[in-house]
Structure 1
Amino acid sequence: MKYYLLTIILIALSQTGSGQNKNQINIGTIETIHSGVLNEDRKLLIYTPPGLSNDPKSAVRYPVIYLLDGEVFFHSFTGIAAYLSSTGKMPEMIVVGITNVDRTRDLTPTHSVYWSDGEKDERALRNSGGGEKFISFVQNEVIPYIEATYPTAPYRMFVGHSLGGLTVINALVNHSSLFNSYVAIDPSVWWDNRALMNKAGQVFSHSDYANRMLFYASANTMDKHMDTLRVMNDTANANVHVRDNLQFRSLLQKDKTSRLAWQWKYYPEDNHPSVPLIAGYDALRFLFKGYELPKEMNDPSLTAEEIRVHFNNVSKLMGYQVKPSERTVNLLGYGCLSNKQFSRAFTFFKMNVENYPQSFNVHDSMGDYYLAVADKKNAVTAFTKALTLQENPETRKKLTELKLNHLN
């Protein structure tokens, strides 16, 4: 949509014009890679979770969100993701904002010189149709760079709005194995006389999308006197955007074979520019439904077995093995230890040892458990194991005292 291009330009200018100083709050880094596919340098905005470790031996890996129009949506989307992960609603994730050089070129899958209202615009749309080349850039250059540079897990999400949403649908239809989940926010599926939407119906009918998810958001861009029922029989070009979104929903509803897990949501109170914020939140809630532990961490009835079963289910959702965090399980163990719930404490410390056998900390904690129950022999074994992984003065002191007491 033409007015959206102006919105992109204005927001991008307002954000890139801000200066930097020592008091600035930074939420990410700007990294530049050279694209051989596109023959140009491209900037990536990178957000990493606060707990990311520089230790190459760290077992913690993070799923990744690849976000189009990064210069516009990086702040809002990283904020939503960081907050939801802090409340346990979703995993901590790396966010990669891909910024624009020639937006119309990169985010349109076919060449066309017509806008949604039928107006021909050869000047503005002369470079359209580079979408496949852009996806090749993402697949063969951006993703390998991120996975070689950061501790990534084998889960990728693709997020886009407007023409970016069209690009997300293009990836879903033509490159379905590239991402685990797809977020298309008010996508421009009207592009090139609905060429991609028409292909989607054919592809869904003979493709298997098991373990793939789609969140599709549609804004209210119709004339004021219209509603979602009347607009389907309307022929005005002004309403083509929302009408085609509704038709895509019908396409998804008719699909009985692809096994694609999807949710479509209409936002009557939001227009094209305002919908990304709320839709981004709703998308993450849908895609990670079931990620949150059903009990509070301070619930005294929570057991290690419940955590184990829950994370087995989370692993199925994510498509790879997801383990409960070492720190969280350790806190549960020490909480039980302080309440003299020794048997329950042991199950948590044992879980950590099983999940993170190369961590100095889990063996040191198990040693503290054995000290609490006066099992000196196993305490010595646990502290010794910890020190083979990492030297630590406090652990060394505990082991020395144990051995001296044993000799005495």
Structure 2
Amino acid sequence: MRVFLALLLLLPTFCFAQTAKQPDAPITIGTKQILHSAILKEDRTLWVYVPKSGDGAKTRYPVMYLLDGEAFFMSMAGTVDYVSGQGKMPEMIIVGIESPDRVRDLTPTHYPFWASGEPANDLKTSGGGANFMAFLEKEVMPYIEKRYQTQPYRMLVGHSLGGLTVLQALVHQPTLFTSYVAIDPSIWWDKELIMKQAEKALTQKDYASESLFYAVANTMEKGMDTVRVVQDKTQGNHNVRNHLLFRETLRKSKNLAWAWKYYPEDNHGSVPFPAQYDALRYLFKTYALDKDLKDATITVDYIKNHYRAVSALLQYQVLPDMGTVNTLGYISLSEKRYDKAYQFFKLNLENYPAVGNLYDSMGDYYVAVGDKKKAMEAFKKALSLEEVADTRRKLKSLEAGK
């Protein structure tokens, strides 16, 4: 409780009292790291973001692998930092992967032609997708998992050709990632090859453990709409038409959790930014509690059941949030629902037995119910784990009989 009160007291200072001139200081959101790839026979650059709470901590995090990392790293890191800070998703490590030749890296076949069938010099290096995925699976992932505290949850995010790579992984390596985000993917590639492969794979394989968010930009000619475009055969409208056809395949998929969203106000270049946010909100839509903390119907069983569901969503154990449970305990204590307060404080101690502040909270409970002996025991235990002035003051007050 002391941490919560301290933050309330300091908040106005942080917000309004910083008037003194401060020296310039860099704002750092991540690091660039060079990894030599034996598979690709070249050095590759990774952009890595680690949550603030992960600096030197033992907390483990799910990992997002972000294609075209140099283009989307900053916007994605900011989005993840903000949304997780609101308690709507877990904090995540983000690994942005640069591609010096994205045509080579992000295409599954050699196909030097545009969607129209016209030859394309810009696509002559295409077809290195299999090597790139081997690099990601066998070199990047082990490198990240060795250096950082990671959970088994992995997300793959890509735009355009990167979105095509995401769908390739979903179809051919579905267990490599837990969730997939395809943003306006280039499904026209090689005569819509991925559409044919997905039609077979998504209806035959069991995708009960995977999820997909699929974003579609408005690349249609002016005056065209999403109803008439399905029957339209002009080349200028083929992207949206193909995406609508892919949605029909998704509807026939076997147990895949998916969402498909069309962005009528965004083109191919602008759609990644809103799609990033929407993808995270969809994939973690059941992560946050669906009740306000002051809701009197919240019980310990409700909290336990919610976090069992979160654990199932992330596919690893997630303990009830310590701060949330402690707040619930103090809310119950302030409303003189003592048995409920005790149950919340007890749950926290069961899950986090080495945190001194939680024994301090239990001590506050015992003070409230008039059990001086147990309150002193709780404060002493808290101090044995962490010396805190406020806890020491409360213990001395009890010992003096005040």
Q: TM-score, normalised by structure 1?
A: 0.84
Moved more, 276-285 or 238-247: 238-247
The aligned counterpart of 2:298 is 302
Q: Which runs of 5+ in 1 are unaligned?
A: 1-20
State the partner residue of 1:232: 230
1:168 aligned partner: 166
Q: Which residue of 2 aligns with 1:35?
A: 37
Structure 2: gaps (5+ residues): 1-22
Amino acid at match of 1:288: F
- Does structure 1 retain, via aligned residues, the 8 Å contact 2:202–2:252? no
Q: Which residue of 1 aligns with 2:371?
A: 375
2: distance between equivalents of 1:146 and 1:269? 37
Residues 1:293 and 2:289 are matched in the alignment: yes
State the partner residue of 1:142: 140
Residue of structure 1 aligned with 2:313, choices 314, 317, 324 = 317
Per the TM alignment, residue 341 of structure 1 is displaced from its structure 2 partner at its CA by: 3.6
Asked if 2 retains the 8 angstrom alpha-carbon contact of 1:117 and 1:238, the reply is: no
SS in 1 for 2:52: coil
1:167 Cα offset (Å): 0.5
Residue among 179, 198, 206 paired with 2:177: 179
Cα distance, 1:386 vs. partner?
Answer: 4.2
What is the 5 A alignment of 1:180-259?
A: 180-255=178-253, 258-259=254-255
1:348 aligns to 2:344 (yes or no): yes
The Cα shift of 1:395 comes to 5.2
1:18 is matched with none
Write the distance in 1 (CA, Å) between the matches of 2:162 and 2:391: 53
Equivalent pair of 1:155/1:179 in contact (CA under 8 Å):
yes
C-alpha change, 1:390 and 1:140, in structure 2 (3 Å) is farther
Question: Aligned partners of 2:324, 2:54: CA distance in 1, in Å?
Answer: 15
Q: Sort the Cα spacing of 1:315 and 1:74 in 2 relative to 1 into closer, same or farther, 3 A.
A: same
Structure 1 residues 391 and 144: alpha-carbon distance in aligned structure 2, compared to 1, 3 A threshold: farther
Matching residue within 327, 332, 335 for 1:331: 327
Measure, in 2, the Cα distance between the counterparts of 1:367 and 1:141.
50
Q: Which amino acid aligns with 2:126?
A: S
Q: How far is 1:171 from its partner? A: 0.7
Structure 1, residues 19-70: CA drift from partner, whole Å, max 9, x if none? xx943332222222222222222222222223335234xxx33222211111
User: Which residue of structure 2 aligns with residue 279 of structure 1?
Assistant: 275
| Aligned-residue offset at 1:225 | 3.5
> Given the superposition, is the C-alpha separation of residues 144 and 172 from structure 1 closer, same or farther in structure 2, using an over 3 Å criterion?
same
Structure 2 counterpart of 1:13: none
Cα pair 2:109 2:190 within 8 Å, conserved: yes
Alpha-carbon displacement from aligned partner over 1:116-152 (angstroms, at most 9, x marks no partner)? 222212x322221111111122212222222222222
How far apart, CA to CA, are the structure 1 residues paired with 2:331 and 2:32? Answer: 41
Secondary structure of 2:114 counterpart: coil
Report deviation, 1:313.
1.7
Pick which of 43-52 and 279-288 moved more: 43-52
Structure 1 residues 29 and 335 mapped into 2: Cα distance closer, same or farther (>3 Å)? farther
Cα distance, 1:305–1:197 mapped onto 2, change above 3 Å: same
Cα separation, partners in 2 of 1:83 and 1:378, compared to 1, 3 Å: same
Match of residue 73 from structure 1: 72
In 1: Cα distance, 2:388 partner to 2:233 partner: 74
Q: Which moved more, 1:276-285 or 1:387-396?
A: 387-396
Distance in 1 between the 2:142 and 2:373 partners? 48
Which residue number corresponds to residue 266 of structure 2? 270
How far apart, in 1, do the equivalents of 2:134 and 2:203 lie?
Answer: 25
Offset of 1:104 from its aligned partner? Answer: 0.7
Residues of 1 paired with 2:312 and 2:178: CA distance? 12
Q: Which residue of 2 aligns with 1:91?
A: 90
**One-letter amino acid of the structure 1 residue matched with residue 250 of structure 2:** L
1:85/1:386 CA distance change after superposition, 3 Å:
same
Conservation of the 8 A alpha-carbon contact between 1:189 and 1:197: yes
Does the C-alpha gap of structure 1 residues 273 and 346 become closer, same or farther in structure 2, counting only changes over 3 Å? same
Q: Contact 1:116–1:241 at 8 Å: present in 2 too?
A: no
Q: Structure 1 residues 300 and 106 mapped into 2: Cα distance closer, same or farther (>3 Å)?
A: same
Contact 1:117 1:240 in 2 (8 A): no
Partner Cα distance (2:295, 2:65) in 1:
36
The alpha-carbon deviation at position 368 of structure 1 amounts to 3.5
Query: C-alpha distance in 1, partners of 2:397/2:234?
Result: 84
Between the aligned partners of 1:78 and 1:100, the Cα distance in structure 2 is: 19
Shift of 1:372: 3.7
Tell me the distance in 2 between the aligned counterparts of 1:334 and 1:31.
44
Would you say the 8 A contact 2:183–2:214 is kept in 1?
Answer: yes
What is the match of residue 51 of structure 1?
A: 53
Give, in whole Å, the separation in 2 of the partners of 1:53 and 1:347: 32
Structure 1, 390-399 or 150-159: larger mean CA deviation: 390-399
Would the aligned equivalents of 2:203 and 2:252 in 1 still touch at CA under 8 Å? no
TM-align CA RMSD: 2.6
Q: Percent identity?
A: 54
Shift in Å at residue 379 of structure 1? 3.7
